[in-house]
Structures are given as C-alpha cells and as structure tokens.
Amino acid sequence: MFKKILFATTGTPSCDSAARVAFDMAKRYNAELVTINVFGVPSRSFSQTVTDIRTGDEVDLHDDRLEEIKNELEKTYVQLIKDYTPCETVVTVGIPHTEILRLARKKEIDLIVIGARTSAEENENSVNRHIVGRTLQSVARSARCPVLVIGRTAASFWGGISNIVFGTDFSKASDEAFKFAFNLAQTFNSSLHLFHAIDISADPFEITKNQEVIEDRIRDAREKIRSKYLSKMEGFNDYEIDVWEGIPYVEIVKYARESFADLIVMSHHTKKMDPEKAVLGSTVEQVVLRSNAPVISVNHPARQKKQ
Amino acid sequence: MAKKIMIVDDDPAIVKYLENLFKNNGYETCVARDGSEGVGIVKKEKPDLITLDLEMPEEWGPRFYRKLSKEKEFKNIPVIVISGLSGNKYAIHKAVASLTKPFDKDKLLTIVKETIGE
C-alpha cells in the first residue's frame, strides 16, 4: 500500500518524531523512502542568494552548498539510515510546499510524512502553538496522496498499524477518508474504529439543555455510520462504532487515547473554508496538534492518488 | 507469599539484570521475551506487576498492553514502562511509571514497592 514514502523535514529536532515514524514505516512496509529538505527561498529569480528557512539568514548558494546540506542531513539521521539504507535524500531551494508537492508528483509518492510545525514557528508566541505550520497546511490542502502528520513531539509510532481510528463528520471528504482507512485496515489486518463526535460546544440548537436530544442524536449518528460505512465493509468484522458528544477534536483525541489507536484517519476540509477558520477552527488541525497518535489527512477524492 | 513481577523485554541482559534485582529484593519473577507471548504468560503466571519494554521484534509493548487491557481479570495489573525510546511516557497512558533506559534501579524499586508493596 505504501510503496513510496516522502518525508519532508527541516532537519531540526522538531522533525525527529516524524523522522522516526517515516523510517519505521518504510522499513516495516518495505517502502522506498525519499527525504526532502527545502533549504531556502531564492531572494530573487535565478538569484544565488537564498533565505535559509530555519534561520531566516540570507545565504550565498555555492555549488557545493546543497551537497553539504545533504551530507549534514544524512548525518542527522545516521542512526535511522543505518537501519534502513534504501533511501534517497533530496535537498533543494524554493518555496517549501511547492517543492514538496512537486517531488511527490514526480516520484508518484503514496504517502507524505511531515511534522506539524517548523522550529521557527515553535519559537513564536504561545498563541501560535495551536496553529499548524503553513507548509503543512499547503501540503495537506493540495497533495494528491494522503499526508501523515506528526503533531506532538512525543507522537510516535508504537510498532505498526494495528488499531485505526477513522473520525467522520459524514461529509463527502470523509467518505474518501473512510475508503482509505478501510483499505488500510484490510491491508494491515488492523482493527477499525468508526468514530463520530457530536458537536455540542457551539450548541446552536441548545441541545445540551435536553439529554434526550443528545442521546437521540447519538443513536442517529450510530445508525448513519452503519448505513453509510458498514455496507461497504462486507466480510470485515474487526470494527467498532462509537459516537461521543462534546468538542469534536477533544473527543477524537480522547477516543484515540482510550482505544490505544496507532493511527487516526480524517479528511482535510480547509480548502472549502474561510482561511481564518481554516487556521483556527479545523478539527483535523487541532487533532494533529494534540493527538499522541499520528494522523493521516486524506484530501479531496479527485486529488487522491489511486491506490 | 512473595509478589510476582513479570518482565517483558527482548534484551537478555536487561532481563537478567531485572530478574536479579527483583529476586534480591524478595520478589518472584517470570519473563516474556516479546509482547506476542506476553498475554499467555500473564494468564499462566498471574503476576502482580509487569515491567514492559516498548520496542520488541515480534510485537511491541503497546500492542501487548492493548490485548491485556481487553482481559477483564488482568487489565488492572500495574505496568511500569522501561524503554530507551523518547516520549515513552506517552506510549501507555495508564502505566504507573515510565523509566528511560539506562534507569536508576533504586527509583525502579521504590516505584515497585509503592505499587505492590514489599
């Protein structure tokens, strides 16, 4: 299922967890691994001066500079490379998300692995700690393949995919995420949790005033999961259906923790939303930042690479 | 009757070290070399506490713990995670403690005594 994995890194400690997941997955699933580092943005077209993405400094780009960075990067991941040698390292200059997406298309990548934040963004004020990186947002929005995001520094991959949580909001994009999650569960012989969180935080219909209304909605949601997804899971019995009420991203993170999830699969909706809301309000982005399990964001069906 | 501690680890040196440490402090021990044989040994030996490595060849510690937590009789056995992996305290959120290798044996013994007594 994952024959080619692209790991996008800045080479800083903030990408260490993502590195471990990328290398572990490549090794475990016998995939080809390509590591990409976008070193800097050219200050002008064809300029030999680039702005270093990590430091913000202007740096002259000598002929050997990219090779030096490549060696530096390979040294950073020497322990991981030692255990898994069939990997390629690409260092380039340009706008990070453009270069990542370009390489993903060129190499026909099945999965992009990326950290949720760059180190530069981590150093900003505390408000921004609840916002995913701009590169991730752009990559997740436009990638043709699923994007696996490692949000928290501690988020790790504890020994393969055996327990998948699929979080749905019943949208069309969620249908595509379901197809991917189910395919994944079948391929890796994993348990699949079909989960929906009823949003009572905004309470537009004042449903929290009446517990019966909440429980009716839970029953309706369970029925919707059955009718929408179970019909497509013939012969697959290792699943559970759960519906909780609360703030969706909180409930998904809690549910994943309580069910020992190795992986969360969700759809990414930001393309349809107001940019302000996409940054601050998206459930998948909050799950990415808070969850202890890696999160795979699946994009619009037309853009998803055929499995 | 002595309390029994189950050691789940694939490293023979660590296993031997922990066996000696626990036996010298009055505990009985039993061993699983991997998560895959762990649940069977738990059922057979009924340990009072488990020390659990995370990264093992056949089946990792979290997957073993997930299976264990489905067993009504054994799901509340206290677990101490002992692993060299970074972020190991997040791997099993119900663990009573997480120690990073190389660990302090006195700290481990203190946690064991506080959890199951002497």
Give which of A154, A151, A24 is closest to B87, Cα–Cα.
A154
Question: What CATH number has the domain spanning B4-116?
Answer: 3.40.50.2300
Give the pLDDT confidence of A243-272 residue by residue, as tens digits: 999 999 999 999 998 888 889 999 876 445
Considering A79-83, A169-173, B11-15, the range whose residues carry the highest mean pLDDT is B11-15
Tracing tokens 């069906």 back to the chain, one arrives at A301
pLDDT at position A132, please? Answer: 60
Minimum CA–CA partner of A161 in chain B: B63
3-state secondary structure of A260: coil
Name the least confident of A50-64, A208-222, B39-53: A50-64
Closest approach of chain B CAs to the CA of A133, in angstroms? 22
Separation in Å, CA A271 to CA A28, A140, A142, B65: 33, 10, 9, 39
Domain ranges of chain A: 4-150, 163-294
Closest by Cβ to B66, choosing from A17, A156, A163: A163
Contact A257 B93 (CB under 8 A): yes
| pTM metric for this prediction | 0.81
Instruction: Answer yes or no: same fold for A4-150 and A163-294.
Output: yes
**Chain A residues within an 8 Å CB radius of B89:** 154
Residues A157/A20, Cβ–Cβ less than 8 Å:
yes
Residue type, A198: I
The complex scores an ipTM of: 0.70
Per-residue pLDDT tens listing for chain B (118 residues): 899 999 999 999 999 999 999 999 999 999 999 888 999 999 999 999 999 999 888 888 888 998 899 899 999 999 999 998 877 888 888 899 999 988 999 999 999 999 999 8
What residue spans define the domains of chain B?
4-116
CATH class of A163-294: alpha beta
- Residue A293: partners with Cβ closer than 8 Å, 6 or more residues away: A155, A165, A256, A257, A261, A262, A263, A264
| Residue of chain B whose Cα is closest to the Cα of A24 | B55
Check B54 against A260: CB less than 8 A apart.
no
Q: Point out the residue among A156, A159, A262 whose CB comes nearest to the CB of B87.
A: A156
In terms of CA atoms, which chain B residue is nearest residue A159?
B60
Report residue A44's pLDDT band, with 50, 70 and 90 as the boundaries.
low
Classify residue B51 by its DSSP letter: E
**Assigned architecture for domain A4-150:** 3-Layer(aba) Sandwich (3.40)
Q: What is the DSSP string of A164-216?
A: EEEE--S-HHHHHHHHHHHHHHHHTT-EEEEEEEEE-SS-TT-GGG-HHHHHH
Cis bond leading into B102, ω under 30°? Answer: yes
Distance between B60 CA and the closest CA of chain A, angstroms: 5
pLDDT at residue A204 in the model: 63
Chain A residues closer than 8 Å to B90 by CB = 152, 154-156, 292
